[in-house]
Chains A and B, each alone.
Chain A
């Protein structure tokens, strides 16, 4: 479909490719942990190797004490005994310190994941990735498991513990009797069994993701403030609860039955481990009774064999964890590898964005189809938006108005044709610079849960603390009256997400969004995508009077005669539309007619028809 599809691994890759990819997944997520806190990570890694051998060493020391006692060397026994105690004390100390370091590292790593996610998601210049459900899915998954890189790190540490521990154990057991070297080999099939069971478990888990999201939606519908009115009015509560029950019981039941089936693998593996351990102790006990082993050997075997079995078991768990790690890691990698289809040119190669538009913005045979869909939303659109004018986009729902705006802001690139600013292809323009020259208020504006001055000021970040400019924008959009009514004025926390937040009505939020859209000091492009749907008539009138004045502020006014900002206005209200210098009527993704209000009315086409329809009711 798009380049992103190639980032997903093919269905049946060769073993080598699978291994190479797993190694990459592991390396990338481990990299997050090491980058988050390198010194702590290295210290913990070293400690893990020491810990691994700790059991074997104490086992050996125990044996030495016992053998010294048995063979009548009291001095040596006491000396080795003291060594044993020192080791025990050092082990306890090391354990406490690693606990501390681990907690720190865990948090720092999660935070590194959050930051990385933000960087990845916001680095893409376009919107296509965010509007793809698969992308949202993966972001959510990685976000919910931001602890995974830390787990990958502990996983790595466990492996190092296991390797060192098992090596030490095998050497010691080999000295007791060469046959004991085989102990880890005997129980190895158990590892394979358990690993497989775990892996299947995680795969099955992935298959219920959609149902889980639906259950989450039911929960939100029932408990969140937004839907509360309808839920009560239509009496939907009990019904939603019942649906939640049926849904969750179905998928939980399925997952549980699956899990139960896999219990056998665990039990079989457990049986093997048990047989290995009991067999080893019994075998050495028998050797001792036969005087082919010392009592010290037995004491050593009891401790070391148990530890070795524990290590093997832990190896199975950790290997299975690898499956879970690679499950999340794959998604993380998918996000990292995602090739957005809008790519900003590097600042060096890009044409600097114009300070002000000289001639205008042109659509040159532009067609556009949303990625992953078949139906074109814009077909062969050619259009010139002269500098210094206000252009209204008119059309019925779904005519392509919002898509056209999205191309102008370069959230998407056209499928065919090009958009040019003063003759320069938008794709060649310095994108950051272009956006710094863009002010916008969208239909689905953000309800920023910030303090009022910031909710306006983020429209031009460098001026976010410039209360004078924030105030001026607020006045222009009529948001000053909203803010004046707030308990702490400009410093009032807006929205109900945070402490002491004051929620606004939809119309009030809209004024804040408008004020934000007006923050850019010298915009080249001003986009107003249905910004007044929730405003009352008086407010709407004021707002548009302001805009009409603004778009003429820098230019010489009139129809495209000067240089200055292009103001794009999307609206269903003809009272608003008719104020524009140029009106463009879209229908089914094509331009049907364009001209001034009077021209279009005289032409008697769709515009005239729609205008009269609305006017007839006044």
Chain B
């Protein structure tokens, strides 16, 4: 990732604050109000204290009834008011900030979700740059709220600073000027120092992520088995440590170098302050200035000098929490800027006369790669028929499914549904016609109801439909026997139960069935639907297949020839083309590649000689 320019940062910060305001306008306004009120209070306290100390010696000399005595009493009242206001507004401000942080974090999550799901295709997910930005965007948490918080702090420190300058100026105008001018370089150096080290922290993300990865290997459940069998724990710890060090080295060096510069400039600030102090003290000793005035002005001058450094440090912290913002903003803008898939098509897909699917001279390579996956492929699937795709790993079967779902558009050629290029069809409408189980289907850590119902959201509350979908793939009884029935989360972490691989697969199949029964999806796509099923279940499914696919156009991808034979027609893919096409019997008779692959598997079953 590139380092954002100051302009990018500024723009992103502006937008970040805008998001904060939008996430919770009421709380954002309340925070600003607290800031203004609480911001004035410390300034008032400083001013009143200056007045109090300045007039007190005279009041002591002339008695409490004198004008100076009145002023001292007035100042005391003001001090009390200021102290009470800041003590009371402080807790309110904290509560508001807490609410705002939490709401903003949730709001930003939703905006990121919206921005990501708005991307119609999958091309972005292949793009490492995008994935980096997305993960960076996740880190920002409530960064912009921190920025806002620091901005309010800067405001409060700033107003206090002005009050101190005013009190010091009571002695002479040059005092605050001298103190400010000598402290300014140190302040700026502090700001740069904090910013640079903050930036270094942000830039080490690749090494940090690797360190996190090795850490997770050791502490997470999934790698637990291999970690133990292969004895990888000490290795993972060593690697984690290595990457952590690599990540932090640059920052440590920067920090030491930066600090040296800061030290010198802070010495300059102290020198300026010392000069002002000594001059004031001498003039007091000489009797040109009253002790009260000196005391008030000197305390203010010291406060001024340290406050400037504080102010710049706070400003730097505000900046540090915003380094991630440009990344988040780019993610939020993605769908708007460049969806990488043309979604202009508006033709309704549902009213077409059902003729079938055609791949016409389709060529495809994944974005950013050169390897051609599909190479001038032609395939015609008549409506209402079922076709099985077979082929070795990497032949392009799953890619073909992805193109049909329009996650990508072909690099060359076109795909038509019922005679219309799918790019011309309304995308939502097209996808609503499809019932699909993917090879890497999702394990939703949600109730069984959602895991099946997500196949057709709009009717997911209709239990008879859920039951029918589950019954079709033979998982109904298991689901209804769960401790809380359909409402049982399918994850132990959420107080539910964990399913086995085969059970998950049938739940995913039921989801695809839900699209069939719930939204009358007529294009059924099954990508390796039986990989984790045991023989009996696969056999049951085989028995149901005719019913599942009746009246649907079905595309079946599988390595298992026992599964493949569920389809009437078999298409063999190799090197991105259709090389054989026909019924099982035809292909076996032709004695080509299919026959050879089939033989490899079937021989295990036939060689027994003891089958009836």
User: Which of A218, A266, A449 is the one whose CB lies under 8 Å from B94?
Assistant: A266
Would you give the 0/1 interface string for A211-253, flagging 1 where the beta carbon is closer than 8 Å to chain B? 0011101110111011111111111111111001100110010
A351 in contact (CB, < 8 A) = no
Q: How many pairs of residues, A versus B, come closer than 8 Å at their CB atoms?
A: 455
A612 in contact (CB, < 8 A) = yes
Stretch among B76-84, B167-175, B351-359 lining the A interface: B76-84
B11 in contact (CB, < 8 A) = no
Stretch among A417-425, A432-440, A550-558 lining the B interface: A432-440
The CA-CA distance from A67 to B606 in the complex, in Å, is 111
Per the 8 Å Cβ criterion, residues 109-164 of A in contact with B are 111, 114-115, 117-119, 121-123, 125, 127, 130-131, 133, 136-137, 139, 143
Of B92, B456, B500, B605, most buried by chain A (CB within 10 Å of CB) is B605
Of A119, A614, A617, most buried by chain B (CB within 10 Å of CB) is A617
B444 in contact (CB, < 8 A) = yes
The CA-CA distance from A302 to B539 in the complex, in Å, is 88
A468 in contact (CB, < 8 A) = no
A202 in contact (CB, < 8 A) = no
List chain B residues, Cβ under 8 A from A275.
Answer: 84
Knowing A81-B277, A122-B227, A537-B601, say if A93 contacts B113 (CB, 8 Å). no
Of A289, A411, A498, most buried by chain B (CB within 10 Å of CB) is A289
User: Which of B92, B259, B285 is the one whose CB lies under 8 Å from A69?
Assistant: B285
Knowing A130-B221, A234-B454, say if A288 contacts B608 (CB, 8 Å). no
Find out whether the CB atom of B393 lies under 8 angstroms from the CB atom of A505. Answer: yes
Stretch among A5-13, A385-393, A528-536 lining the B interface: A528-536
List chain A residues, Cβ under 8 A from B281.
Answer: 65, 77-78, 81
Would you give the 0/1 interface string for B293-336, flagging 1 where the beta carbon is closer than 8 Å to chain A? 01100110010001001000000000000000000000000000
List chain A residues, Cβ under 8 A from B59.
Answer: 289
Find out whether the CB atom of B436 lies under 8 angstroms from the CB atom of A233. Answer: yes
List chain B residues, Cβ under 8 A from A131.
Answer: 221, 224
User: Which of A398, A461, A498, A534 is the one whose CB lies under 8 Å from B230?
Assistant: A461
Find out whether the CB atom of B438 lies under 8 angstroms from the CB atom of A230. Answer: yes
B267 in contact (CB, < 8 A) = yes
A560 in contact (CB, < 8 A) = no
A74 in contact (CB, < 8 A) = yes
B256 in contact (CB, < 8 A) = yes
Closest-by-CB residue of B relative to A460 is B230
List chain A residues, Cβ under 8 A from B110.
Answer: 241, 244-245
The CA-CA distance from A240 to B112 in the complex, in Å, is 12
Find out whether the CB atom of B431 lies under 8 angstroms from the CB atom of A233. Answer: yes
Find out whether the CB atom of B291 lies under 8 angstroms from the CB atom of A435. Answer: no
B246 in contact (CB, < 8 A) = no
List chain A residues, Cβ under 8 A from B411.
Answer: none
User: Which of B60, B118, B434 is the one whose CB lies under 8 Å from A291?
Assistant: B60
Stretch among B154-162, B211-219, B380-388, B462-470 lining the A interface: B211-219
Per the 8 Å Cβ criterion, residues 545-579 of A in contact with B are 572-576, 578-579
Stretch among A32-40, A173-181, A276-284, A359-367 lining the B interface: A276-284
Find out whether the CB atom of A266 lies under 8 angstroms from the CB atom of B457. Answer: no
The CA-CA distance from A421 to B588 in the complex, in Å, is 48
Per the 8 Å Cβ criterion, residues 222-267 of B in contact with A are 222-233, 235-237, 240-241, 244, 248, 252, 255-256, 259, 262-263, 266-267
List chain B residues, Cβ under 8 A from A228.
Answer: 122, 125
B99 in contact (CB, < 8 A) = yes
A358 in contact (CB, < 8 A) = no
Knowing A117-B215, A122-B236, say if A602 contacts B230 (CB, 8 Å). no
A88 in contact (CB, < 8 A) = yes
Per the 8 Å Cβ criterion, residues 575-612 of B in contact with A are 597-598, 600-602, 604-606, 608, 610-612
Closest-by-CB residue of A relative to B399 is A505
The CA-CA distance from A541 to B102 in the complex, in Å, is 55
Find out whether the CB atom of A446 lies under 8 angstroms from the CB atom of B292. Answer: no
Find out whether the CB atom of A62 lies under 8 angstroms from the CB atom of B230. Answer: no
Closest-by-CB residue of B relative to A122 is B233
The CA-CA distance from A143 to B212 in the complex, in Å, is 10
Find out whether the CB atom of A458 lies under 8 angstroms from the CB atom of B230. Answer: yes
A274 in contact (CB, < 8 A) = yes
List chain A residues, Cβ under 8 A from B405.
Answer: 229, 232-233
Per the 8 Å Cβ criterion, residues 325-376 of B in contact with A are none
List chain B residues, Cβ under 8 A from A245.
Answer: 106, 110
The distance from the CB of B136 to the nearest CB of chain A, in whole angstroms, is 12
List chain A residues, Cβ under 8 A from B494.
Answer: 210, 213-214
User: Which of B56, B103, B240 is the one whose CB lies under 8 Å from A285?
Assistant: B56
B394 in contact (CB, < 8 A) = yes
The CA-CA distance from A302 to B218 in the complex, in Å, is 56
A337 in contact (CB, < 8 A) = no
Of B218, B273, B492, most buried by chain A (CB within 10 Å of CB) is B218
Knowing A115-B241, A221-B444, A244-B106, say if A444 contacts B231 (CB, 8 Å). no
List chain A residues, Cβ under 8 A from B436.
Answer: 230, 233
Find out whether the CB atom of A226 lies under 8 angstroms from the CB atom of B442. Answer: yes
List chain A residues, Cβ under 8 A from B266.
Answer: 92-93, 96
Closest-by-CB residue of B relative to A511 is B393
Find out whether the CB atom of B219 lies under 8 angstroms from the CB atom of A117. Answer: yes
User: Which of B128, B233, B270, B535 is the one whose CB lies under 8 Å from A92?
Assistant: B270
List chain A residues, Cβ under 8 A from B33.
Answer: none
B501 in contact (CB, < 8 A) = yes
Find out whether the CB atom of A508 lies under 8 angstroms from the CB atom of B88. Answer: no
Knowing A223-B134, A274-B87, A610-B535, say if A289 contacts B69 (CB, 8 Å). yes
Find out whether the CB atom of A614 lies under 8 angstroms from the CB atom of B500. Answer: no
Per the 8 Å Cβ criterion, residues 379-423 of B in contact with A are 391-394, 398, 402, 405, 407
Knowing A78-B285, A223-B112, A508-B394, say if A130 contacts B215 (CB, 8 Å). no
Find out whether the CB atom of A498 lies under 8 angstroms from the CB atom of B604. Answer: no
B114 in contact (CB, < 8 A) = yes
The distance from the CB of A259 to the nearest CB of chain B, in whole angstroms, is 5
The distance from the CB of B489 to the nearest CB of chain A, in whole angstroms, is 9
Closest-by-CB residue of A relative to B262 is A96
Find out whether the CB atom of B605 lies under 8 angstroms from the CB atom of A575. Answer: yes
Find out whether the CB atom of B562 lies under 8 angstroms from the CB atom of A459. Answer: no
List chain B residues, Cβ under 8 A from A65.
Answer: 281
Per the 8 Å Cβ criterion, residues 423-481 of B in contact with A are 428, 431-432, 434, 436, 438-442, 444-446, 454-457
List chain B residues, Cβ under 8 A from A338.
Answer: none
The CA-CA distance from A540 to B219 in the complex, in Å, is 33
User: Which of A298, A449, A539 is the one whose CB lies under 8 Å from B53?
Assistant: A298
List chain B residues, Cβ under 8 A from A376.
Answer: none
The CA-CA distance from A514 to B347 in the complex, in Å, is 48
Per the 8 Å Cβ criterion, residues 85-139 of B in contact with A are 86-88, 90-92, 94-95, 98-99, 102-103, 106, 109-110, 112-114, 116-118, 120-122, 125-126, 128, 131, 134, 138
Of A66, A210, A229, A579, most buried by chain B (CB within 10 Å of CB) is A229
Find out whether the CB atom of A260 lies under 8 angstroms from the CB atom of B95. Answer: yes
Stretch among A17-25, A99-107, A324-332, A469-477 lining the B interface: A99-107
Find out whether the CB atom of B91 lies under 8 angstroms from the CB atom of A263. Answer: yes
Find out whether the CB atom of B95 lies under 8 angstroms from the CB atom of A100. Answer: no
Of B226, B259, B266, most buried by chain A (CB within 10 Å of CB) is B226
Find out whether the CB atom of A411 lies under 8 angstroms from the CB atom of B228. Answer: yes
List chain B residues, Cβ under 8 A from A289.
Answer: 59-60, 63-64, 69, 72
26 A-B residue pairings within 8 Å (CB atoms): A70-B57, A77-B285, A78-B281, A78-B282, A119-B237, A215-B109, A218-B113, A221-B444, A222-B117, A225-B125, A232-B120, A237-B116, A241-B110, A256-B98, A259-B98, A281-B76, A289-B64, A435-B228, A498-B206, A508-B393, A537-B597, A572-B538, A598-B608, A612-B611, A614-B535, A614-B539
Across the A-B interface, give the 10 residue pairs with the lowest CB-CB distance, nearest first.
A266-B91, A237-B117, A270-B87, A575-B604, A122-B233, A397-B502, A278-B80, A248-B106, A615-B605, A507-B393
- Beyond the given pairs A274-B88, A534-B559, A578-B608, 12 more chain A to chain B contacts, judged by CB atoms under 8 angstroms and listed by A's residue number, are A74-B285, A85-B270, A88-B270, A111-B241, A136-B493, A234-B456, A271-B88, A274-B84, A291-B60, A302-B53, A538-B600, A618-B598
